[in-house]
Amino acid sequence: MKKFVFLLVIMLHIQTIDAQCIPDRHSTSWYDGWVSCAASQSPNPVRGISHWIMYNFGEPYSLTTSKIWNSNDPAHLEFGLQGYAIDYSLNGVTWTTLGTFSVPMAGGSPFYEGTEGPDFGNAIAQYVLVTALSNYGGNCFGISEMKINIKAGSYGIDENAMAEMIAYPNPFTDVLNVKFFRHSASLKAYAEIYDLTGRNVYSKVFALPQSEGEVSISIHAMDLVPGIYNLHIRLGKEMKVFKVVKL
C-alpha cells in the first residue's frame, strides 16, 4: 500500500511555490494517494480479508463532516472506490459502523475538487477504518485523499464541562477515584480502561445524581497488573482521557 496522506482540517497547511492555487484542486499523480492491490486481514474482524486503510489520530476527537477525493490518475480512474464502508473506534479493537457510502468516479482533471463524504455526527473516535467494497474496474482499489472535520474545541475531547475532572491517586494501587463537577444533563458516566495495546481491561457504567454538582466515582481495579493504562471517562458526547499508572 502506498502512503495515504490524512489531513485534519485544524492542522496548519503550509503552501509552497508548488501549492494548489485553486481551493480543493487535487493532484492527478498516481503517487499522491492510497492504493491497495492485495487484500489483507482488516483490523475490524467483521470486514475479514479486504482492501482497507485505517487512520490513527493519536487521541480521540469528535468527528463531524468529511470530504473525499477519488483516485484521480487519468490512467487508473477505474481503480477509484465506488462503494466503501466506514467504521470508527476509540481503541482500534472495538468498532462501530457508521455506514456504507458511494463516491463518483474522478475525471482525471487537475481541477478535480472531490465530493462530500459521510457526516460522522460528532462521533468520538481515535481510529477510522475505510474498507473498499467495490470500484469502477480493475484489480486495485484507491482514493486520493480524505479530510475529516472535527468539532470545535474537541482536541483531546476535553470539553470545558469536564475541565475540572481529576483522577487520583495516580499512581494507584487498588482503587482509582475520579472527581468532577457535573455540568451536562447526562445521568451516566462511562469508565473504561485500556492497556497500551488498546485492549479493554475494565468497563463500568456509573449512575449519576440528577442534580448538577460535584461527583465522585471509585474504580476498583485491583485485578489489573502493574503498568501504564489509559482511562476514558465519558459523559454523553464528552470524554476525557487520563494516563494512569497501576502499582
- Over 70: is that where the pLDDT of 247 sits? yes
List pLDDT tens digits, range 51-76: 999 988 877 788 899 999 999 888 88
User: Residue 16: which pLDDT band, with cuts at 50, 70 and 90?
Assistant: very low
Nearest to 60 by CA among 189, 201, 233, 205: 233
Question: What pLDDT, on the 0 to 100 scale, is given for residue 85?
Answer: 97
User: In the chain, how many domains are there?
Assistant: 2
Question: What pLDDT, on the 0 to 100 scale, is given for residue 152?
Answer: 66
- Over 50: is that where the pLDDT of 18 sits? no
Q: Which of 14-18, 107-111, 127-131 is predicted with the least confidence, judged by mean pLDDT? A: 14-18
Cα distances from 44 to residues 39, 85, 127, in angstroms, run 14, 11, 11
Question: What pLDDT, on the 0 to 100 scale, is given for residue 21?
Answer: 41
Domain final residue pick, 150, 185, 200: 150
Task: Indicate the pTM of the whole model.
Answer: 0.60
HSE (side-chain half, CA atoms, 13 Å) at 238: 19
- The SS3 assignment for 109 reads coil
HSE (side-chain half, CA atoms, 13 Å) at 230: 19
CATH number for 176: 2.60.40.3080
- In the predicted model, what is the mean pLDDT of the chain? 80
Question: What pLDDT, on the 0 to 100 scale, is given for residue 84?
Answer: 97
Same domain, 118 and 226: no
Same domain, 141 and 181: no
HSE (side-chain half, CA atoms, 13 Å) at 13: 13
Dist CA 157 CA 179 (whole Å): 17
Same domain, 118 and 171: no
CATH number for 79: 2.60.120.260
- Over 60: is that where the pLDDT of 22 sits? no
Name, in order, each residue with C-beta under 8 angstroms of 14's C-beta and a sequence gap of 6 or more: none
Question: What pLDDT, on the 0 to 100 scale, is given for residue 82?
Answer: 96
Best-predicted range by mean pLDDT among 11-20, 77-86, 215-224? 77-86
Q: Which three cell numbers stand for residue 60?
A: 480521540
Same domain, 70 and 118: yes
Domain assignment present for residue 1? The answer is no
Please check whether residue 218 is in contact with residue 175, taking contact to mean a CB–CB distance below 8 angstroms.
yes
Q: What is the Cα 152 distance to its own chain's centre?
A: 15
Which of 184 and 235 is assigned the larger pLDDT?
Answer: 235
User: Residue 113: which pLDDT band, with cuts at 50, 70 and 90?
Assistant: confident
List pLDDT tens digits, range 29-57: 666 688 999 999 999 999 999 999 998 88
E-assigned strand segments in the chain = 6-8, 34-36, 40-41, 49-50, 52-70, 81-89, 96-102, 115-116, 123-135, 141-150, 166-168, 175-182, 188-194, 200-207, 213-220, 227-235, 238-246
Best-predicted range by mean pLDDT among 8-22, 51-65, 119-133? 119-133
Question: What pLDDT, on the 0 to 100 scale, is given for residue 125?
Answer: 84
Domain assignment present for residue 133? The answer is yes
Cα distances from 128 to residues 98, 146, 186, 202, in angstroms, run 10, 11, 26, 23
Domain assignment present for residue 210? The answer is yes
Task: Give the pairing type, strands 52-70 and 123-135.
Answer: antiparallel
- Structural domain that includes position 195: 158-246
Same domain, 189 and 110: no
- The SS3 assignment for 227 reads strand
Name, in order, each residue with C-beta under 8 angstroms of 19's C-beta and a sequence gap of 6 or more: none
Same domain, 134 and 186: no
Nearest to 61 by CA among 146, 11, 127, 13: 127
List pLDDT tens digits, range 198-236: 788 898 898 887 776 778 889 998 889 998 888 888 877
